[in-house]
Amino acid sequence: MLKLYHNPISANSRRVWIALLEKEIPFEEIVVKLDGDQLTPEFLEISPFHHIPVLVDDDFILVESLAILDYLEAKYSQTPLLPTEAKALATVKMVEMVTVNELSPILTRLSSEMMGFTKEPDKLEQAKQKAHTVLKFFESILGEHSYFSNDCLTRADIVAGTMIPWLPSLGVPLDKYPKLSVWSKRLIQRETWQKTQPSPEAIEAFIPQMETLMKAQLAN
């Protein structure tokens, strides 16, 4: 059986977790606490950059969430999460990349400032402005559709949809983006989002690790 090394509070892991659930692929969960257990020689053996998620399929070990999603899509044909038509496929990939490259660092900055790990008002303001640029762009892609790729859930919704719903609690409301706002509410009601939503207690318990991890990410 597939093994997923993850932590419920990691957005990078959650996108893989949701894809596994949406595709109804059986897997074994192994929680990595990220309290230093990611730095043990045993874990570094499978994840040299001490990151989760890691997917292990017998003797095949895979890191990088988007590569893991590619593997799942190629190996398991049920409930496709990628369209095949050229423009639709490129749009899904674009939303994924914009989320990972533009939005993810913004979330780290917003969270770090909100939790008081850093105090850099200029960088906070820049992050908020950039968040609005991403949201405006995504609002236009969504158009009149229920999901990014017409009316079917794809990886674009999974990758963006595990980050955008956090924005209002981090000081970036979605009010100016009515389509994204409805999309976000629709996603968080899905069974797979509900099942993978970290509890307030899990978030609270993770705060000590969060400071170290976020500061490391912001320093990169």
Binding site for ligand GSH (CB under 6 A): 10, 12, 34, 38, 50-53, 64-65, 213
The distance of closest approach from Cβ of residue 36 to ligand GSH in the complex, given in angstroms and rounded to an integer, is: 9
Copy the structure tokens of residue 180.
């994204």
The distance of closest approach from Cβ of residue 53 to ligand GSH in the complex, given in angstroms and rounded to an integer, is: 6
Nearer to ligand GSH, 152 or 213 (CB): 213
Copy the structure tokens of residue 73.
């899509």
Nearer to ligand GSH, 79 or 209 (CB): 209
The distance of closest approach from Cβ of residue 93 to ligand GSH in the complex, given in angstroms and rounded to an integer, is: 14
Q: 9, 3, 5, 1: which is closest to 196 by C-alpha?
A: 9
* Three-state secondary structure readout of 1-66: CEEEEECCCCHHHHHHHHHHHHCCCCEEEEECCCCCHHHCHHHHHHCCCCCCCEEEECCEEEECHH
The distance of closest approach from Cβ of residue 209 to ligand GSH in the complex, given in angstroms and rounded to an integer, is: 8
CA distance 112 to 181: 24
Nearer to ligand GSH, 16 or 174 (CB): 16
Nearer to ligand GSH, 5 or 183 (CB): 5
